[in-house]
Structure 1
Amino acid sequence: MIAICEFTFTACLCVLGWGAKLRHVTLLNDLVCTEMKVLQQNDELMTAEGILLEHLPKSFQVYGHLYAYNRNKQSTIQVVVDTWPDFKVIICRPDPRQEFGFTPEMTMYCKESKDGHALKEILMKDSLFNWSSNINGGCDISHTSILQEVSLNREVNYRSLALTRLLHLPNRSHLVKPAIDSGLESRISSLELCHAHLVNQTWKFGGTQQGYNYIAFLISNFPTYCITDNEGQPISWLLVYEYLALGVLYTMPKHRKRGFAKALIQTMAQRLFDQDYPVFCYIEEDNMASYKLFKSLGFIEEPSYRELWFEFNF
């Protein structure tokens, strides 16, 4: 359930052994005990959102989760901080009180690069996750060594899935608006739940029951747009992830190079701006076609940031 388009899986398996045992002792000796806090009160969650707003665009993923949660969108996450209210690390973890037909993503953000120690500490807490389950998520690439160290000490396998660029529209004035002819505009509509199977079958991470359940969750709870053919069947579509990034952009091969993707991105961006939502996306680093597409529409890249998508217990 990752970012926007066509990711390539790169296995980075960790070998366990005596070295892992030694590193476990070293890591535990380094840690200073603090109590993590689950944010449950509305005022706490709104305060956290406001703090993350000051750290945009790098905080977009966790900010998007909180923004949606605070506006009563259906959510799969629970928000955890290392300390409160002056937190260094904030994590959106799968809500342990709920069950889903798919694996929710974990996202995390450190306010400062020097806060890696606090991130390592909270990731080592037994109560943070069910470490026997599959865990996937995203974070700043600078935390790669911490993820690897935690996987060794917890004796769970780890791999990086993708490295992505962060692009966003700071405001409506940045959006380039290509002309959309009236015939095409009349064919733009929202996806229906009955389209979840089609989207799942064409999605790189789909084709499974979990994939179908996730796509159905997004269609049921977040904005979507599609362009239909003469029979009313979707031939191009765009969804929004739970953390509000644009994603699952796809056009059927025989209908490509007709400006459908541009029309959908423009229409979705305008809708999100109308609702005061942020507009951003993650694009795999070597996916130049998508990168050029979003740049042509006015999206700005955050050049100093790369989002790492990773997985434990795969």
Structure 2
Amino acid sequence: MQVSERGTTMEQLNEMQLKTVETQLKELFPQSQQVYGYIFQMNRVMADPIQVFVDHWPEFNVILCKPPYEKEGDLFKDTCVFTKDEASFRNILGENNIIDWTKFLCLGTSLCYEEMVMAVASERKVPVNKVSVCHMMMLQDPSRLPPVESAIESMISSLDESHSDIVNKTWKFGNTENSFQMIRSMIRHYPSCCVLDAESQQPIAWVLTYPSSAMGMLYTLQEHRGQGLAKALVSSMSRRLYSQGFPVYCFVEEENTLSYSLYTNLGFTEDPQYRAAWFDFNSL
């Protein structure tokens, strides 16, 4: 149990409680999807540790997933919050011992809490930046996915850790040592797909899985675009994730109309009332 200086308690969930809360969160989609994805992975994969806290158990209002910040690079990892009640969420953000407001923090939550998040940052005199606003796209029925062309299918493989550098250099939020370490961990622990060049056997297009189980970092090298590689990778990865019981979903930035069209055409849908948002505090 973690206790704040104001007396509010947050209980850290144990292994059995994580299995229970996974089932509970599934009934609260789409708002709970991202936190559910973290816990889904935690219940199946031995990867970098993530701590999960609730304000009450078993009837929680707020559930918070965060890395323990034990080593360099941990600060780059997101803290993610799902809440049923804005007042409870605000109370948690107001507690010094739950969120360390002296360090960099990337917070992922629903866009509907933007005003409250900004107000808390202002009260604490902490610089804050809204980094990204995204559609959350979900695939319910993989049978709608088109078949992958045999010529491309023969080139599809999984990324390995030697590919971390090229992924890091091309990712919008990457090209730092912290992001490199995060990407390498993702490749090591979670599913990925890539298309390998026939001659060099180096990746020319790829998609990864975040610790939240969301597909992401979809990218095709400039000189290989227009060949349907992204469509093939998303289709292949979606089938793979679905067959393994993963939630099949992704985040698409509002301004990324090409990716939005790609996922929509492949059968991904969204709740039009929901947007996910990420906020940076104390920029790195």
Question: What TM-score, normalized to structure 1?
Answer: 0.85
Letter of the 1:138 partner, please give it. G
Distance 1:181 1:169 in 2: 21
Residue from 167, 172, 178 that aligns with 1:204: 172
Partner residue of 2:71? 99
**CA displacement 1:259-313 (0-9 Å, x = unmatched):** 1001100110111111111000110112110000001111011111011111111
Partner residue of 1:262? 231
| Structure 1: segments with no counterpart, 5+ residues | 1-31
Partner residue of 1:72? 45
**Partners of 1:176 and 1:296 within 8 A in 2:** no
Distance 1:210 1:270 in 2: 31
- Kindly tell me: are residues 247 and 58 of structure 1, through their superposed partners in 2, closer, same or farther at Cα, counting changes over 3 Å? same
**Partners of 2:148 and 2:236 within 8 A in 1:** no
Partner residue of 2:18? 45
Q: Which has the larger radius of gyration?
A: 1
**1:25-40 aligned within 5 A:** 34-39=8-13
| Structure 2: segments with no counterpart, 5+ residues | 1-5
Matched, 1:169 2:143: no
Matched, 1:284 2:250: no
Distance 2:252 2:79 in 1: 18
SS in 2 for 1:223: coil
Runs of 4+ in structure 1 displaced over 6 angstroms? Answer: none
**Partners of 2:133 and 2:254 within 8 A in 1:** yes
**1:211-230 aligned within 5 A:** 211-230=179-198
Instruction: Give the root-mean-square deviation of aligned CA atoms.
Output: 1.4
Question: What TM-score, normalized to structure 2?
Answer: 0.93
How much has 1:146 moved relative to structure 2?
Answer: 1.5
How much has 1:251 moved relative to structure 2?
Answer: 0.2
Higher RCO, 1 vs 2 (CA within 8 Å, ≥6 residues apart): 1
Distance 2:127 2:104 in 1: 10
SS in 2 for 1:163: strand
Partner residue of 2:62? 89
SS in 2 for 1:211: helix
Distance 1:49 1:36 in 2: 18
Percent identity between matched residues is 37
Distance 1:236 1:38 in 2: 39
SS in 2 for 1:36: strand
SS in 1 for 2:117: helix
**Partners of 1:139 and 1:309 within 8 A in 2:** yes
